Structure 1
Amino acid sequence: MLVIADSSCLIALLNVGRLELLEQVYGAVVTTPTVAKEVKKELPSWISIIDVQNEAIHTSMRQQLDPGEASALALAHEVWEPLLILDDLAARKVAEKLNFPIIGTLGVLEEAKAQGIIPAVRPLLEALKAVNFRISKVLEDRVLARVGEL
């Protein structure tokens, strides 16, 4: 499995000082140069930056999505067993139509708790909200219920 991160997760976890959770949960993570540029901060060495090779798919994706998400989805077409980390609803819908497995930033937190990397999701969820990461109340409650913190 190759984990491909879009900018929203990278930015959110950087903003709360917990980017290392991605490495702890998944080991290596990859992204594209477009996503790396959107992040606007230097990424650690365990995040590989890989160019999209198939420009036709990339161009097609850009007609539906913004550049970072388009590049992440285009890269997913080029690798074996991708797992996309996407928060944007439109990008998630495209990924689902293409049968790509997806997880969001909150799913990463759930997985971190399940693996015993963090003791609780709620404090990080609150920290994300404090840095303007948008989470609906319905989604917040659903996540907290799944991890036994509601």
Structure 2
Amino acid sequence: MTEPVVINASPLILLSRGDHLGLLQAFASEVWVPTPVAREIRQRGPTDITARALSTTDWLRVHPELPIPESIARRRLGAGESATLAIALEHRLTAIIDDLAGRRCAEGLGLSLRGTLGIVLAAKRRGLIPAARPILADLIAGGLYLSERVLDEALRRVDE
């Protein structure tokens, strides 16, 4: 059994939109969703695919908010990023964040970090998906931003 990971809203939204939420289970049998992230997702309404996934996926667990340490608060991140990083820091868990400012903060704190792109690449390396390219194309169509250079380099890493 792997330890939990903690996720911010955008990776959760992108993966559920593309019906790729199951890729998260390549990293953890349990994914913690901080309360502010859950609140943001639920505001999208009960018919939203991510809000439904949050309500029906037993391995997505809403985790109570923790006090935000000064090392995170001074970065002035959004509530979701801050809560994600606070939980990751407190429990020494991997944070799944796409936002650049949040990623820089996580790196500065020495946290283990993944993004949506890294999840897809790891799933390919572990043989959970036959190819990363179609999933990444789907995620990009759903709103994931990757420069062509980053996309090409990522696909090279998995021999595509």
After TM superposition, the score normalised by the length of structure 2 is 0.84
Question: Which of the numbers 146, 155, 158 marks the counterpart of 1:147?
Answer: 158
What is aligned with 1:98? 109
Displacement of 1:63: 5.2
Q: Which residue of 2 aligns with 1:66?
A: 78
Note if contact 1:58-1:70 (Cα within 8 Å) is conserved in structure 2: no
Counterpart CA distance in 1 for 2:72 and 2:100 is: 18
- Aligned-partner Cα distance in 1 for 2:113–2:96: 6
Task: Give the match for residue 77 of structure 1.
Answer: 89
3-state DSSP class of the match of 1:92?
helix
For these two proteins, the number of residue pairs brought into alignment is 147
How far did residue 84 of structure 1 move? Answer: 0.7
Per the alignment, in what secondary structure is the counterpart of residue 65 of structure 1? coil
Within the alignment, does 1:134 sit opposite 2:136 as a pair?
Answer: no
- In 1, the alpha carbon distance for the partners of 2:68 and 2:114 equals 25
Which residue is equivalent to 2:65? Answer: 52
CA deviation after TM superposition for structure 1 residue 29, in Å: 1.0
Partner of 1:27: 29
Matched, 1:86 2:97: yes
Separation of aligned partners in 2, 1:146 and 1:74: 31
**Using a 3 Å threshold, how does the CA distance of structure 1 residues 22 and 140 change in structure 2: closer, same or farther?**
same
Between stretches 33-42 and 43-52, larger displacement belongs to 33-42
Is 1:111 the counterpart of 2:122? The answer is yes
Identify if the C-alpha distance between structure 1 residues 58 and 70 changes in structure 2 by more than 3 Å, giving closer, same or farther. Answer: farther
The one-letter code matched in structure 1 to 2:40 is E
Structure 2: runs of 5 or more not aligned: 43-50
Residue 58 of structure 1, CA deviation: 7.5
Q: TM-score, normalised by structure 1?
A: 0.90
User: Are the aligned partners of 1:7 and 1:35 in contact in 2 as well (CA < 8 Å)?
Assistant: yes
User: Aligned equivalents of 2:149 and 2:122: distance in 1?
Assistant: 19
Deviation at 1:21, TM superposition (A): 1.2
3-state secondary structure, aligned to 1:26: coil
Shift of 1:26: 2.2
